[in-house]
Amino acid sequence: MSAPDGSPVGAERSIGQLFASATAEMSALVHDEIALAKAQLKHDVKRGATSGGAFSAAGVLLLFSLPMLNFALAYGIRTWSHWNLAICFLLSFAANVLVAVVLALIGVVFAKKAKKSKGPQKVAASMKESAGVLQNAKPHPRPELPRDDVRAIEAAVGRSSS
């Protein structure tokens, strides 16, 4: 079994290897944070586009379908109820307005969701937090070893690496 850098597990790694490993992991973290920001931004844009589409659909429906729907619905109500034709036209108009209001409410809901979502801001705050933690990190204090112990450790490390 080996560590991510290829050295055997349990073997002590040099400071250079540790620094290289930390640099690679930090680079991967930054790349992952950027990918997360892109994904969240894409999701927010999709919500905004859905909102715009719902508003557009409401406007198009109200604009282009009013004459046809009003005539068809008014004459249908007149046939069914035998009411005055003017009242039937008012009822058909009210039905069209009701559908347009429902579509506009759907657009408002999606617009609020897109506005509330603070994806890129969350990622930026997370990156700042990670950078703050790394800036405040201090190396662990190492106890001073007698000179004989240092030579014995160096000899053992030299034997294990060759």
Q: CA 23, CA 134: separation in Å to the nearest integer?
A: 12
Between residues 149 and 27, which one has the greater pLDDT? Answer: 27
Q: Could you report the per-residue pLDDT of 23-66, keeping only the tens digit for each?
A: 888 888 888 888 888 888 888 888 889 998 999 998 888 788 77
Residue linked to tokens 């719902």: 54
C-alpha atoms less than 13 angstroms from C-alpha of 53 in its C-beta half-sphere: 7
Residue linked to tokens 């069209």: 96
Q: Could you report the per-residue pLDDT of 70-119, keeping only the tens digit for each?
A: 788 899 999 999 999 999 989 888 988 898 899 999 999 988 888 777 66
Q: CA 120, CA 83: separation in Å to the nearest integer?
A: 58
Q: CA 40, CA 47: separation in Å to the nearest integer?
A: 11
The confidence score (pLDDT) of residue 78 equals: 92
Q: To the nearest 10°, the Cα dihedral for 89, 94, 96, 102?
A: -170
C-alpha atoms less than 13 angstroms from C-alpha of 30 in its C-beta half-sphere: 8
Determine which of 8-17, 31-40, 97-106, 132-141 has the lowest per-residue pLDDT on average.
132-141
The confidence score (pLDDT) of residue 23 equals: 86
**Tokens read off for 137:** 């990190």
Between residues 151 and 72, which one has the greater pLDDT? Answer: 72
Where do runs of H (alpha helix) occur along 12-146?
A: 15-81, 85-116, 119-136
User: What is the pTM (predicted TM-score) of this model?
Assistant: 0.40
For the cut 50, the answer to whether the pLDDT of residue 1 exceeds it is: no
The confidence score (pLDDT) of residue 72 equals: 87
**Tokens read off for 121:** 């801001």
The confidence score (pLDDT) of residue 84 equals: 93
Mean pLDDT of 128-155: 63
For the cut 60, the answer to whether the pLDDT of residue 2 exceeds it is: no
The confidence score (pLDDT) of residue 44 equals: 86
**Tokens read off for 7:** 């050295």
Per the CB < 8 A criterion, the answer to whether 91 and 77 are in contact is: yes
